[in-house]
A and B are shown apart, each in its own frame.
Chain A
Amino acid sequence: MPVDHKRINGPEDTVPYSLYTKTNKQSLTEQYEEIRKTGQRTDSRAFSEHRKIFVRTGAVSQAKGSAYIELDNTKVIVSVFDPREIPNRPDYSLKGELYCEFKFAPFSCHKRRLHVQDAEEKQHSAIMKRALESTVCLHEFPNFQVDVYATVLENDGSCLSAAITAAGLALAHAGVPMYDIITSVTMGIQRDTFFVDPTVTEQNICLYPRPSESDTEHGIVVLSKLHTHDQVSQFYQFGNVSLDKLNESISILDETCRELVPIVQKYLVKHVVKNLQRNT
């Protein structure tokens, strides 16, 4: 792993203090049992309820297009830059390309993130690229590349799906030709509980199996959808989930993705109207 010597990376072997605090000692298993017993999530949402969304475009004035999204405490900013020729490519390609970079800001998580992309961020970048590739009309800009940068300012779960939704909006704002509106939703699964749009604690609950006698399923699912064409542009899951549960989660996520579309649509219409008014 190359280390950037110009930055202060902090001592190598530091540990976040929160490992020794009381809230950490109340184990995630206990928190999960609590949620199961009361039948209520910590922020008193229903299990299939998405958090309130705030979006706006044009957050970065220097970029061709940009979007900012908030899901309560999850805050992601995405910027899209002008197409440029694909670097280091000797042959002419008939299709354009997308370059996606997903990054957690160093201060966005409980543990400090480094400036270089780690494996998780690289994986997220690849998933983002996959999700967006089928949305953008790549044949419209042959031999050119559009750069999409997503930075998570604060991580309270469901960052990847927030970044994908915002990236779709930013691409539209940049005037990149697209087939459709893209929305994305994350889901956490722990035994028989489905957490739609999980917070970071709920995500951690779903990361590991909680001890139980019979059924020990857990996992995280991310689904991105193109709305009008009814197509899944990206589907990603990890954990340990049975096929039936997975199919169930697909239909729930499908429904939630559809619910997000009017919000994105409304914002795009607002943006177009504003532009028209400015031009007349």
Chain B
Amino acid sequence: MALCDAEKTFVLHGVQDNFRIDGRELDDYRPMELETDVVSHAFGSARLRLANTDVLVAVKIELDVPFPESPQNGKIEFFVDCSANATPEFEGRGGEDLAIAISNTLTTAYSSSLAFDSRKLCLLNGKKCWKLYVDILILECGGNLFDAVSIAVKAALWNTRIPFVKNVNIDGNNIDLDVSDDLCLCERLDIENAPVMVTVCKIGDKCIVDPNAAEEHCSMGSVVVAVSGTKISTIYQTGTGSLHPATLTESLQLGFRVAIRLNEALSKVLSRIRPDEEAGFLK
């Protein structure tokens, strides 16, 4: 996206007066659409549309051996694919840096056992565990990818059904799993404390949340705040500019406040979705 100086000034002045180009206030979010269970081959999936940003997340589960340093923990891995469908800038290896940044931020945000307890994914101490592959596909890019991805991931994990293991037999070195055939008999993940990310973007002297593509273009730097429950699980700075310590504290506060609100709204929406409802654009 290319903006001329006049357009940038227009965005900047709007932010200064607490009236952004799309009529929002500084701490307002754009409308969102969330669907769950949209991919039939996945164990859990979600699609989020945040104004022009479109993200599809699918969770696949496979069996694996736990890491020797953490024999009681299962594994979770995040892959982000910034396809050139989303924006021409991602063509070739253009989106690779962004994809790595998003997946690493997710990995660190989910790394604390207080945010996501991977011990529940362990089947047999040191021998067998579930591995969750969380694949994130960016379908359209309209700014604020970090937030959109984190919400979609949380919804997809909420939607995930882990096959129910009836019993585990050990015979020498052979491990035999007896997995239930009944699809309705499954376990759910506890995602109450799964982190929600909010990107706080600094434009001029003010900080805004949920920047659209034009606003992202005007900003020198932003802070991604991942909040799990009432604690902060990850902070990651993007962009090139530097911040005054006071601004940093201020933006952390704003991010924290908005993330708590966002998390509440998300939990409310998720609790309204009936698990057996048929919906989604792929069905």
Contact = CB atoms under 8 A, between A and B. Distances in A.
A92 interface: no
A239 to B, nearest CB: 6
B12 interface: no
Given A235-B237, A242-B231, 6 more contacts: A126-B97, A209-B112, A226-B242, A230-B244, A230-B245, A238-B112
A52 B115 CA distance: 35
B240 interface: yes
24 contacts: A19-B68, A123-B104, A126-B100, A126-B101, A130-B237, A130-B238, A130-B239, A133-B240, A134-B221, A134-B242, A217-B231, A230-B245, A231-B243, A233-B242, A234-B237, A235-B237, A235-B243, A236-B235, A240-B112, A240-B114, A243-B252, A250-B248, A251-B245, A254-B245
B108 A238 contact: yes
B278 to A, nearest CB: 37
Interface string A117-147: 0010011001000100110001000000000
A237 interface: yes
A237 B234 contact: yes
A254 to B, nearest CB: 6
A81 interface: no
Contacts of B231: 217, 240-242
Contacts of B241: 134
A250 B245 contact: yes
A254 B112 CA distance: 25
Most interface-central of B69, B234, B245, B252 (chain A CB within 10 A): B245
A226 B243 CA distance: 10
A243 B260 CA distance: 12
Given A19-B68, A242-B232, A231 B242 contact: yes
A130 B237 CA distance: 8
B228 A240 contact: yes
Interface of A: 15, 19, 111, 119, 122-123, 126, 130, 133-134, 138, 208-209, 216-219, 226, 229-243, 246-247, 250-251, 254
A237 B235 contact: yes
- Sorted nearest first, the 4 A-B pairs with minimum C-beta distance are A231-B242, A134-B242, A238-B108, A237-B235
B236 interface: yes
B244 A240 contact: no
B209 interface: no
Nearest to A246: B232
Contact of A236 (B230, B236, B239, B245): B236
A12 to B, nearest CB: 12
Given A134-B241, A232-B243, A240-B228, A119 B104 contact: yes
Contacts of B114: 209, 216, 218, 240
A237 B242 contact: no
A20 to B, nearest CB: 10
B268 to A, nearest CB: 23
Contacts of A216: 114
Contacts of A123: 100-101, 104, 108
A51 B241 CA distance: 29
B233 interface: yes
B109 A238 contact: yes
Nearest to B251: A235
B256 interface: yes
Nearest to B96: A122
A240 B233 contact: yes
Interface string B68-98: 1100000000000000000000000000010
A215 to B, nearest CB: 10
Contact of A134 (B109, B112, B240, B248): B240
A208 B68 CA distance: 16
